[in-house]
Amino acid sequence: MGVVIETFIWEPSSSFFIFFFVSTFLSISLFPYLAKNRTFGSFDHSISSSFARFQRWFLAIYTLSSVMEGLLSVYGELELTTYGLSKESMVFYLCVGYSTAPVLGPVLGVVSDLIGQKKICLLYCVLHLIVGVWKRITMSPSAWFANVFLSLAGLVYSFGFETWLVVEHEKQSQRNDSLNETFWLMTFLESASLIGGQVLANWLVGENVQDGIALSATASLLLSVVTIICIVQTAKEPLKTLPFRDYSTAFYAYVLGDKRIWFLGTSQACLQFSTAVFWILWAPTIVADGREVNLGLIYPCFLGSRMLGSTVFPWLMSGQSLLRLEDCLVYIYALLGIVFSIVAYDYQEIRILVVLFCLFHGFAGLALPLLARLRTMYVPNELRGGMISLSQVPANAAILFFLIQRGYSNKIENSTMMALGAISLFTASGCIYMLRRWGKSPHHDWHKL
């Protein structure tokens, strides 16, 4: 008589999803009635019709771009596995993508400030269009080619759309409330779009992974075409009049020569590094004890928690909190560091790990619009793209270094990388604290640069 061994696949309870949905819905729906400042964001009807129209177009464009950003990244290692690539080859392709960022990232940021953010956002769509066409035509690994183009697109995505928004906001002389609203909506819609991209990719994959990858490439291609049309339909942006020589002088004076920008940039780089460490190690960490886990259902929990965290931002900006933005970020970074420290110290049960990782994304969802708001306070809009891209260089370089050390020589353990992520978050907390101590100087007229 045979013995049947039942296998148990761990997956999050439905109560997880219900909690995120109900909490997010209540946070958004109750805000107009309970907030102290009731003229915030989408509940403020005093913004001009032209900016409201631009805001709707912009959020639609950003949503489509977020779907593109997540659609081709869903498969990840599975796509490379279907082509029969070894682990060393996968690490190589990842390193090629990350090596592009430190070299070309600052160049793209400066170019976006000089030629205009609308054009750089069009470049983002063109890069996705090229990758979609290439994957659809060749149906070959060509991972280095795709990784380079997707890495460049990710760089443009990280600063191009935000800079386009603030420049348009300044051009139309709108209140800061409408800008603050768009910041948290960008984080909210990005997370929702990534979930939608996962659903779409899983629906397209069917029984054959290669066919699913081809269909996803086709979907990305079509989305890029639609997004290009939407960007072209928006209002024409003003021509840039700042020559490169004046731009470089202003960049040195107001970015490289300002210690506050160094503190802010370092905190951004630390959050980016810890987030990259998380996305590299979250799956190996959860399955470390050998149990089967339904990772496809855990992924939406992370993004759902980030959506919930982003909805806390309007409550803070409406006067519900007695803390300044810098004080909030000091505590948020410290809490994020504690979460990473717990994971790095010892292996936890899967349920505890999922809760910790959800806390990480919840606080990160709140930190992202807060950082965007601080950039608006400290960084000139004319130099914003260059500043953001420059701050990403140390994070991308560190990620590349650890990928090489971990992927090829196995000199660094996963717990060590988690510990370094925790140290970077505590460092970011200290940087924001120093930024708080330095304070904000009187507002400069950046148009006189």
**Which pLDDT score is estimated for 13?**
83
Residues 212, 262, single domain; the answer is no
Does residue 215 form part of some domain? yes
288 with 411, same domain? Answer: yes
Co-location of 180 and 266 in the same domain:
no
Q: What is the pTM of this model?
A: 0.88
Note down the domain range covering 102: 55-241
Q: Are residues 249 and 372 in the same domain?
A: yes
Domain match, 147 and 125 both: yes
Whether 33 is covered by a domain: the verdict is no
Domain termination site, one of 241, 275, 307: 241
Asked if residue 179 and residue 71 are part of one domain, the reply reads yes
**Residue 278 sits in a domain of what CATH number?**
1.20.1250.20
Q: Which of 241, 262, 278 is the last residue of a domain?
A: 241
The answer on 192 and 300 residing in a single domain is no
Is residue 105 in some structural domain?
A: yes
Residue 35 lies in a domain: no
Q: Report the pLDDT value the prediction gives residue 168, as an integer from 0 to 100.
A: 85
Position 70, amino acid: G
Q: Are residues 219 and 329 in the same domain?
A: no
**216 and 309 in one domain?**
no
Q: Which of 241, 275, 309 is the last residue of a domain?
A: 241
Kindly list the averaged pLDDT for each block of 10 residues, start to end, along the chain of length 449: 55 86 90 64 58 87 90 68 68 77 87 88 92 76 72 90 88 72 91 87 71 78 92 69 81 89 94 92 80 83 93 81 81 94 81 91 94 91 90 90 77 85 95 83 43
Count up the domains in the chain and report the number.
2
**Is there a single domain that holds both residue 232 and residue 255?**
no
Residue 10: inside a domain, yes or no? no
59 with 186, same domain: the answer is yes
Same domain, 66 and 215: yes
Q: Does residue 9 sit within a domain?
A: no
